[in-house]
Amino acid sequence: MNSYDVTVIGSGPGGYVAAIRAAQLGFKTAIIEKTSLGGTCLNVGCIPSKALLDSSEHYHNAVHNFAAHGIDVEAPKVNFSQMIQRKREVVDANVKGIEYLMGKNKIEVHNGIGSFKDATHVIVTKDDGSTEEIESKYIIVATGSYSTELPFAKTDKERIITSTEALELKEIPKHLIVIGGGVIGLELGSVYLRLGSEVTVVEFMDRIIPGMDGALSKELTKVLKKQGMKFHTSTKVTEVTNNGGGVTVKAEDKKGEQLTFEGDYVLVSVGRSPYTQGLSLENAGIETDERGRIKTNSHLQTNVANVYAIGDVVAGAMLAHKAEEEGVLVAEQLAGQKPHIDYNLIPGVVYTWPEVAAVGKTEEQLKESGAKYKVGSFPFRALGRARASMDLDGFVKILADEATDEVLGIHIIGARAADLVAEAVVAMEYRASAEDIARMSHAHPTFAEAMKEAALDATAKRSIHS
């Protein structure tokens, strides 16, 4: 029987990072993966979706923006099979990178489904049905999540699809219906919108990206509508039917009016659920909550002292970088260190174009809590860099404490927002005031100048360029 100090079940961003950090700290480490190293994120999530987003953005620019830049080309055509192939190559390269890191850090990889025999023993069931048993002092569960299904819209992987199938379509849809106006639905909807699909988003809540600041939702709706995306918010889907060559989606709006949508594919993106099937948690006595997530304390320790859980399988935002931070935290705790995570400072990003990114409290949250705050904002269209690149949509919004000027939240929609939010995280990690940001030199011309200008607006209503 193989024996280890630390065994990680699941090799997504949380799992493989936890394994690497544990190995760095001197633990004999193993990782168990039932499919391909990298988990959902690298194989059928973050990475392939960004590859298609980038490819579709290049095409969109060739069709709509090249001429304005003085680049004359014949009408471009989409080679969709090549686009999908490039996406696969990007995924393969990333997976090979994880394989390299496992070898470099002397982490033993066990391919198969991991399930608890008891609190210190895991059974690995391989594809051929054979099994092996692993003994481990500590076990970290990092099995991630899967796309949540609607009870009346079971995925058939043909016409009623999840994000996994949307990344491997054989054709560009004529009309893609997206159920759910969250991150996944909007990103994949954007891919096909740019490639020429009609895209209709049906969202139960009263706005898209409902968990983010309302101003971001309003601006993103406006921009995506301008690009051609259609929205039906405050609308409840009641029925989805695969007609063989297409789909019919029936819904009801807030006025009780019955709506019918006809398309050739429907993407169900109504959230994700923790993946605990097959783990046999009961054999180790590990408790879960009412939503099927593994219960943990503030140290990510389960009710079984030597078992920890991280990432999408526990409470909190389902984000790759949140899982990574948790993986490091657990490994360092096992080594006797005292790491910490401030969950308020885990940024959220939507990779549409323009991008959307945020960290800290939303204005709605501050109002609900009764906090006294002030707001500063600055539009991208007032930036020289944005004018040069024709990326005029969006703004930076900074929320700061009315009395102390400490930054409470930063919300960005615009070009490179996903990268700009890192400055916001750094500032808030060190409890910067809006004035602190305003007094830092920002290179000109850059998109980052919007951060400085918004901070000037927040601290003293004295932005220079608006």
Query: Is there a domain that residue 95 lies in?
Result: yes
Residue 316 assigned to a binding site: no
153 domain residue, yes or no? no
- CA angle (333, 349, 87) in 5-degree steps: 95
Final residue of a domain: which of 215, 247, 270? 270
Q: What is the separation of C-alpha 220 from the centre of its chain, rounded to a whole number of angstroms? A: 17
The answer on whether 319 is annotated among ligand-binding residues is yes
Q: Are 318 and 366 members of one domain?
A: no
Q: Where are the alpha helices (DSSP H) in 231-334?
A: 281-284, 320-334
Q: Is 360 annotated to bind ligand?
A: no
Q: Are 178 and 106 members of one domain?
A: no
Q: Do 201 and 238 have their domain in common?
A: yes
Query: Do 68 and 167 share a domain, yes or no?
Result: no
Instruction: Kindly state whether residues 337 and 377 are assigned to the same domain.
Output: no
Q: Which domain holds residue 195?
A: 160-270
Domain CATH code at residue 32 = 3.50.50.60
Total structural domains within the chain = 3
pLDDT tens, N- to C-terminus, the chain (466 residues)? 899 999 999 999 999 999 999 999 999 999 999 999 999 999 999 999 999 999 999 999 999 999 999 999 999 999 999 999 999 999 999 999 999 999 999 999 999 999 999 999 999 999 999 999 999 999 999 999 999 999 999 999 999 999 999 999 999 999 999 999 999 999 999 999 999 999 999 999 999 999 999 999 999 999 999 999 999 999 999 999 999 999 999 999 999 999 999 999 999 999 999 999 999 999 999 999 999 999 999 999 999 999 999 999 999 999 999 999 999 999 999 999 999 999 999 999 999 999 999 999 999 999 999 999 999 999 999 999 999 999 999 999 999 999 999 999 999 999 999 999 999 999 999 999 999 999 999 999 999 999 999 999 999 888 899 8
Peptide bond into 173 cis (omega under 30): no
Residues 42 and 183 in one domain: no
Q: Is 185 annotated as a binding residue?
A: yes
Examine the domain organization and report whether 141 and 278 are in the same domain. yes
- The answer to whether residues 94 and 191 belong to one domain is no
Is 370 assigned to a binding site?
no
Within-domain flag for 466 = no
If asked whether residues 12 and 131 sit together in one domain, one would say yes
* All residues at 6 or more sequence positions from 399 whose CB lies less than 8 Å from its CB, including other chains: 360, 361, 363, 366, 373, 374, 375, 407, 408, 409, 410, 411, 458
User: 352 and 227 in one domain?
Assistant: no
The reply to whether 461 sits in an annotated binding site is no
Residue 169, domain member (yes or no): yes
Residues 216 and 190 in one domain: yes
- Residue whose C-alpha is closest to residue 41's, from 111, 162, 148, 144: 144
Which one of 230, 253, 270 terminates a domain?
270
Which are the catalytic amino acids? 444
Q: State whether 237 and 118 are in the same domain.
A: no
